Amino acid sequence: MKFETSAEGETSAFGRFLGAQLQRPVTILLQGDLGAGKSVIARALARGLDVPENVPITSPTFTLMNQYSARLELYHFDLYRLADAEELTEIGFDDYAYGKGVALIEWPERLDNRDFDHLLVQVERLSAECRRIELSARGEEARTLLKSVAQWLTRAEKSIFSGSATKNALTP
């Protein structure tokens, strides 16, 4: 399933919606080039999951993982600087990816094994302000999420993704 956003606020609105939908443990992979918008989605998703507004969501570039308490525990990974798979073992990656809370993983390309259920979110930069977002699901929980996003897009199409008046009202 694919859609396009034409401003950061629209990508954030998607992230926030996805975060608000999360009810059960799930792993979400955020894939895309440098500057695509993975962290924009991650920050919005954290708010949708009710990480309090006064808690800053920073990129775990050097720590590899930041943990937040919200409706579900959130484990935010950024694997860009991952040197080898042993580091993953050290931070207990398997425990998170296999269903403790919400595992949100930027740069999943660094993983040599994706043998777990997940929602894959691919972000592609089309121009300075436009992004194409493509979702694919593996497993029941991810499929449920994908379906709710599809329904939300149908509802939102006439408001968020057209006309700046409503767009601004919905921008988190």
Ligand X SMILES: Nc1ncnc2c1ncn2[C@@H]1O[C@H](COP(=O)(O)OP(=O)(O)OP(=O)(O)O)[C@@H](O)[C@H]1O
By C-beta, is 77 or 96 nearer to ligand X?
77
Nearer to ligand X (CB atom), residue 57 or residue 99: 57
> Taking the complex as a whole, how short is the minimal distance between the CB of residue 106 and Mg ion, in angstroms?
5
Phi-psi region of 124 (alpha: psi -120 to 50; beta: other; left: phi over 0): beta
- Residue 66 binds Mg ion (CB under 5 A): no
**What is the CB-side half-sphere exposure of residue 109 using CA atoms within 13 A?**
8
The residue within the footprint of ligand X, chosen from 15, 37, 48, 108 (CB under 6 A), is 37
* Partner interacting with residue 152 (select from ligand X, Mg ion, none; CB below 5-8 Å by kind): none
| 68 Cβ contact list (under 8 Å, min separation 6) | 46, 49, 51, 55, 57, 74, 76
- The nearest distance, CB 59 to ligand X, in angstroms, is 6
83 CB-contact burial (10 Å; exposed 0-12 / middle 13-18 / buried 19+): exposed
Q: Which residues contact 51 (CB under 8 A, 6 or more apart)?
A: 57, 68, 69, 70, 74
Q: Are 129 and 6 in contact (CB under 8 A)?
A: yes
Residues in contact with Mg ion, shown as a per-residue x/- string from 14 to 53 under the rule CB under 5 A: ------------------------xx--------------
How many beta carbons lie within 10 A of that of residue 18, not counting itself? Answer: 25
Total of residues contacting ligand X (CB under 6 A) = 19
Examine residue 5 and tell whether it contacts Mg ion (CB under 5 A): no
56 binds ligand X (CB under 6 A): no
131 binds ligand X (CB under 6 A): yes
Name the residues that contact ligand X, by CB under 6 A.
5, 7-8, 10-11, 32, 34-40, 59, 80, 106, 129-131
Query: Which residues bind to Mg ion, rule: CB under 5 A?
Result: 38-39
